[in-house]
Every structure is written in C-alpha cells, then in structure tokens.
Structure 1
Amino acid sequence: MPLVDRSLSLTHRFWHVAALSLLVGACSSPTPTASPSASGSPTAQASGKELTVGMVIVGPKDDGGWNQAQYEGMQAVVKNVPGVKFDYVDKVNPADRPNVKGTQVADELIGKGAKFVIFNSDDFKDDALETAKKHPDVTVVHASGDYAWKEGKNFKNQPNLSNIMGRMEYGKMMAGCAAVLGTQNGKIGYLGPLINDETRRYVSAAYLGAKYCWENYLKKKPADLKFKVTWIGFWFNIPGVTLDPTKVVNDYFNGGYDVVMSGIDTPEAATETKKAAAAGKKVKFVHYDLKTGCDLAPEVCLGVPYYNWSLPYTDAVKKAIDGKFTSEFVWLGPDWKDINDPATSMIGFLPGKALGANKQYMDTFIKGMGDKSIDLYKGPIKYQDGKTEFLKAGATATDQQIWYMPQLLAGMEGSSK
C-alpha cells in the first residue's frame, strides 16, 4: 500500500533525525501467550528459537482498514506460531510524526531485539531497502513494493528483503460487482486515496467488475453506467493537505450517486452512508481492507473485499525461524475453492446485508472468476484516453501489465495522474 503520493513524498524524503526509544516503547504491543502451531513444520518452541517481529505501520493500528488488517494479521501469527513476539510503531507518516523516518523506527525496533521487520506501506519501499542493506542479519518484509520481483521493473538483488502483497484486483472486481448490484440509478462513486500504479489498477479492477455485472446480470447498457473516482491525496484525511473524505462522500450523495466504494484506509464511506441513510437517502457503500468492515453500518453495506495478512506473514515468519527465508516476491490471490477460508485464501469477500437477493449474482460472478469462465483481464480493453490499448482483442494481461497500470480505463471518470 502506498504511503504517500509524490506531492507528499518530498516531505517524507527530508524527515529529520528524531529520538524514538520512548516512542517505540510506548507503542509496543503486549505479547499474547503463544499457542501450538497447527503446521507440521518445526516450531520455534520445539527448536528452542524465538523471534521478535517489528512492524512499521503507516496509520493507526485500529483504523478500521488497511493498518488494522495488518496489525490483526500479526496478532494471529503470534497466537499460532510459538516463540514469536511482536513489537510495532503505528502512525508513521508525515502528519502524525513529521520528524520520523521509517528507517529510524526500524533501527529502534531492531535495537530492542527485532530480527524480522515489516514495513506496511508502499512508499516505505526505500526505507525497507535501506534497512535491509544496513542490517543484513535482519529479515525485512515490505508489504507491496516490487524490489524483490526479478521480473519487475525495479528489481534490487537484496537477499534479506521480500515483498508480500495480495491480488486485491480480484477483490476489487467483486466489490465493483456488488456496487452495481446495489445501485438504483447506475451512479457509483469511488473514494480514492492517492494516485499511483497500485491505486489505478485497483479502481480499474473495480470498474471492470462493475461493468461486467451491469451488462451481464442487470442487462443494462454500458453507457448508462457512471463510475467516478475522486482522489483525496493520501490513504486517510490530513487536514489542510488532503481532500476531506467526509465531504467527498457527501458530495457524491448530494450529486445523485447512490453507492460509494471505499479505497482509503479509514471508514468515512461507512459512517457517512449510515448518516445519509438515517436521513432518508437510499444509499449504500462498499467497504475495503478489513473483514469486519460491514459491521460499521451493516444495513447499508453491500460487502467488503479484504486481506488475510496472517496467511503470508505466518509463512514468512516460519521460514525465518527455520532458517529457510529467501528473498521472494509474493503476490497471493483468492483460494477459489473457498475465498473466505483463512487458512488458504489471502483475498476474501464478504457480502453485506444490503446486497439482498442479488447475492445470487455475486455468487455466480465469483464462481465464474474461479473457474476462469469469466476473465476480466482479456482484451480488447482501452485506456482512459480511448486510443491507447491496455489489451488487444483476445490478449490476456500479464502480471506486469496489471501491476504497472499507467492510466485508468476507458469509461471511467476521474484523473489518471
């Protein structure tokens, strides 16, 4: 997940030295009592090994979205893998900690005993690389990013650095379908964070899912679907810097949109939809990131695509404990046999109450993606300029084409840059 767009990145690049010892200690989590591992692989307890995992978290650990999902994922690792301890610092961003760099936080966590450090935001990519180089005996994992991807554009040969990410494109396709199945007028607003390759591919995937379900299940004309993204400029509200997501959501509703999809970390889409519905508006929302997201406003929630971070983090931690960790680019999708199985699926989707009887179409859509009878990454598809081809007729997108998305797609409204 990106930390900040390039307009904010300059601030990030010139953060100054700060004393973090007290900060790290104050933000450290308690270590739950470890329970036996369900895996047949050697455990830390059996081998007499212990491992302290430190996490550098961009936002609040209880944000109701990305950061909470990451935090809870590591809590699950501690419970399931004996010998693992967990330490963290959250709110590591230019607004909450303007004098603190990700590398400094990592240094303090390592100084306290962490031998495994997770950076949980895309713009921490240089912090992750710098930390890996500075501490070659420490395992460094970067959530998102592509430095460990040998086939990617930005490969760095750093043996103690891995990237881990979920193929949320499929979750976003489900979310887009849910949005269409919940709209009465075909006007869907997307609450976007900042603009980069990742966010372009996510909102584009949501549009592809919406378009497919609009045409194939509701039998509507493509031209009658209005899909707009408004970017606020960061993953959550920074007063005076970003657009206010509360205002963006209400602007959508006041402008006639009846479904808002969230693409940010915090729950403004849920809270404002709940208020608008209570005021008599027939509106709904789609949450993002966190499995329990619909609980914020269950009656008006159409569903939530979410990450299951405990799955890849458990695997990486066990490899580190067993001395088997190697640099990897891990990009995990849904387990199509059961997308909501926490033991096997990195990406899931929980339908909300507001989906109602239209859940049957969602089930059909998910089944079709799973058995490959539905492939939304098959051409012809054009980019937003209407001229440049994303995919030629009959062509199927490669991982690189999906990951490095330079524009939104034709039919979408909103900025690509």
Structure 2
Amino acid sequence: MNWNLTRTVSPLKSLAVGLSVAALMGATPTSAQDPFKVGMVLVGPMQDGGWSQAHVQGSEYVKAQLPGVEFDYLDKVNPADRPNVRASQVADDMIAQGARVIIFTSDDHKDDAVETARRHPEIAVIHASGDMAWPEGKNYIEQPNLANIMPQMEEMRMVAGCAAALGSETGKIGMLGPLINDETRRYAAAAYLGAKYCWDTYRDRPEELEFRVTWIGFWFNIPGVTLDPTKVADDFYNGGFDVVMSALDTPEAAVQGKRAAEAGQRVRYTGYGLATGCDFAPDICLGVSYYNWGPGYKELIEAAKAGTFESQFVRPPIDWSDINNPDTSSAGFVIGDALGAEERAKLEEFIAGLGNGSIELFKGPLNFQDGTPFLAEGEVASEADIWYLGQLLEGMDGASN
C-alpha cells in the first residue's frame, strides 16, 4: 500500500544506555554514494506551527549535516485524520520503499514503534517522547533496535512559566493543555514552578498567583472529539487571564491572543514547540520554549549509517552557555518582544540560575495537588520522579487525571 509519502532529497551528550544491534542491522556501513533513507511519521500537519513542524526542521538539519540522507514523510497520522491507518503500517510501507531508519514522533505512536522494531530487527527505530528503551524506566522493553529521544524540555517550560509571571499584571495565568499523561503533567508542573518562583521573587504584587490548566483532550483540535482550543483560549482571555501559555502542537494561544489585543485587551501569551512561535503575534509574545531535534537525530542516524545504532534512552542536553545554539542545545527559549527590558533582565537571571544550579525548582517541600507529599524538605526529585509525575502540584488548578 502507498500513503502518498512526501519525499524531500537534499545534497546538502545524552543519557544513553543499551545494547548494540550492529549484527542485527548487518554491521555494514552504507557507502557514501548510496542514498540513506529515513522515514518520519508525523502525528500532525507538517506545517502545524509547532510540534510536527519542529521535527521536520530537525530533519532539514540532518540533511544539511549528512549529505546523501533522504527523508520520506507522512503527516497527520492520528485517529482523526487517518482513522484507518496505523503508524506501524506507514512504517512498513516506508521500509518497503527503502527506509533504513524510522522515526515516530508522538507518544501516541509508542505501540507502533515497538511493533515496528520487533517486526523489522534490521531497521533502526527511533521514538520521540517515549521511555521503552530506558532500563530504569517503568515501561522498559529489551529491544536492541529501538531508541527513545526526548530533549530536556522541563527546564524550558520553567523558563516559559517565569516569562508568563513576569508578563502578567493580574497574576492569572492559563494554560492550554493537550491530553493528560505523565509528559503533560510534568511540563505543566514545570511551568507552574517557574511561574510561582518568578511571581514570588521578582514581582511586588499582593495577589496570589492563579495558575489554571484546561486540557482539550489531544495535542490539537479534533472537532467533535476534543474541546475547541480556540474557545478555551477565548475563555481564558475573556475571563481575566492576561497570559495564556500554549502546551499544544498548534498556535491558538497566539491567534486568539492577537484578536483579543486588537479588540483592546491587555493580553500576552507564550508559545511552545517551534522557535518561530512568536511570529504569529510578536507584539504580545512573551517568548517561546521550543525543541531542537536536529543534533539528536543526526547522532542517531549517523550511528545507523555506520552500523553502530543501539538501544538507548537519549535526553540530549541543554547548552546553558547558549540555550539557542542550533548545534549544541536540544531545547531553547526565544524571548519575545512583549517582555520589557527590566523583565528580560530578570528572566535572563532566572535562566542563569537554572543553568548553574542555584535555582532548583523540583525540590521539597512540594506536595501533590491532593495535598499528599511529593518531596520532603530539601529533597530533590530524581529524573524518574519528574518523568512519571502522577499528579499536578499543590497550587495548580486543573485535572490531574
């Protein structure tokens, strides 16, 4: 079967543990003359202004760095846009057309990634956002040709939260949340911790911070299935929330914020996923936390080409000396025009504190939303504590499950 794949051809360290699969994959490096095909399965539109587009940009980086690499893409691989198409079926077709690496780009594809890796042991399978290749994780599966990759976005969500607090006049911050799982809970909690710290530390305001998350039910709008993110954003802006933080793959926080501002409201937003997220409404953008998938993908694809690909759980680092360096930082934050010079200086101070360790936000005492203890006084959360965050935190308004 053929899914009308989109192909572009261009001439143009991490936590990693696991088993080598050189023998399974033939252990024969591809010659420099042969095209090396990579299939990328995208959950949303290629140009969604967020998550999926960031993965496409990562592939462009790889092609520029590794001449001879070709990418095939199929986007909108999700139950709403392609209800009868499984991501593993798409991968099978890509492999039949010569792909040597398959990249699945959504937590929604985790079962498909495992199925593909098992069915095609000679193919390198990369799953963005999962943890099946993490031996210390709860979902570990011993599969030599399967790797996970996920940048350390928690830190940049803290930065976004700080920017939101610095840009708010009401102390009411709303978040457009996708579906509820470990990933989205930890990102929302990180944003809250950043906002709380910067509201309490840098703002001379008597109001208590109000931080509310409204989950729409998926990573983007599915009419008739999810809440309408346009309406949710409008409800925030019209309900006194003067900053809306996006945690979606799509830019409703920016689009509706621009309309509210044009109608005379004093509103701001933070973007998510794509470095150009402020371009939708630059005058009211406080900043955007974004992914830089390119260097991590390059390293894994290079290994696949050389026959040295191995199962690993990769968390590419943030380069705190330059968080927006395209070659060295897996996640960054672009400060928006809506943040004034004084607030920008405070945000940069906060970023420096995260980088040198003087600011540690996942540190006790912290309670879960229901009041039960999460971290005792002075206790610092482990990577697993944060990765598998089971509830939102005390002080946050919104559903935990």
**Normalization by structure 2: what TM-score?**
0.94
CA offset at residue 45 of structure 1? 8.6
Could you say what the CA RMSD is over the residues aligned between the two structures, in angstroms? Answer: 1.2
How far did residue 79 of structure 1 move? Answer: 1.7
| Alpha-carbon separation, structure 2, partners of 1:157 and 1:362 | 42
Q: 8 Å contact 2:7–2:71 — kept in the other structure? A: yes
Does residue 359 of the first structure (1) align with residue 344 of the second (2)?
yes
**Does the aligned pair in 2 maintain the 1:382–1:410 contact within 8 Å?**
yes
Give the CA deviation at 1:28: 1.4
Residue 365 (structure 1) shift: 0.2
Deviation at 1:329, TM superposition (A): 0.0
Q: Is the 8 A contact 1:379 1:395 kept in 2?
A: yes
- Give yes or no for contact 2:158–2:190 (8 Å, CA) kept in 1: yes
What SS does the aligned partner of 2:52 have?
helix
Query: Partners of 1:297 and 1:206 in 2: how far apart?
Result: 21
* TM-score in terms of structure 1 length: 0.90
Question: Do 2:10 and 2:68's aligned partners in 1 also have CA atoms closer than 8 Å?
Answer: no
Matched, 1:159 2:132: no
The match for 1:343 among 320, 323, 327 is 327
The code of the aligned residue for 2:6 comes to S
Whether the aligned pair in 1 keeps the contact of 2:30 and 2:305 (CA below 8 Å) is no
Q: 1:274 aligns with which of 254, 258, 263?
A: 258
Whether contact under 8 Å (1:69, 1:307) holds in the other structure is yes
SS in 2 for 1:129: helix
User: Matched residues in 1 for 2:118 and 2:40: separation?
Assistant: 17
Match of 1:87 in 2: 72
Distance (whole Å) between structure 2 residues aligned to residue 394 and residue 351 of structure 1: 31
Which residue, 140, 147, 155 being the options, matches 2:125? 140
Deviations 1:151-200 (A, max 9, x none): 10111010000000011100100000000011011000000000000000
Shift of 1:348: 0.3
The amino acid across from 1:142 in the alignment is H
Mark the runs of 5 or more structure 2 residues left unpaired by the alignment.
13-28
Point out 4+ residue stretches in structure 1 off by more than 2 angstroms: 44-50
Q: Report 1 or 2 for greater relative contact order, CA contacts < 8 Å, sequence distance ≥ 6.
A: 2
1:53 counterpart SS class: strand
Deviations 1:330-367, CA, capped at 9 Å, x for gaps:
01231111111111000100000001121001100000
2:210–2:396 contact (8 Å) kept in structure 1: yes
1:249 aligns with 2:229: no
Identity among equivalent pairs (%): 57
CA distance in 2, matches of 1:49, 1:163: 26
Matched, 1:214 2:199: yes
1:236 alignment counterpart? 220
Contact 1:194 1:231 in 2 (8 A): yes
2:280 aligns with one of 296, 313, 326? 296
Name the residue aligned to 1:118: 103
Could you tell me whether the CA contact under 8 Å between 1:118 and 1:142 is conserved in 2? Answer: yes
CA distance in 1, matches of 2:204, 2:367: 22
**1:30 corresponds to 2:14:** no
2:391 counterpart of 1:407: yes
Superposed displacement of residue 47, structure 1: 4.0
Which blocks of at least 5 consecutive residues in structure 1 are unaligned? 1-19, 35-43
Question: What corresponds to 2:17 in structure 1?
Answer: none
- Separation in structure 2 between the aligned mates of residue 335 and residue 157 of structure 1, nearest angstrom: 31
- Size of the aligned set, in residue pairs, is 384
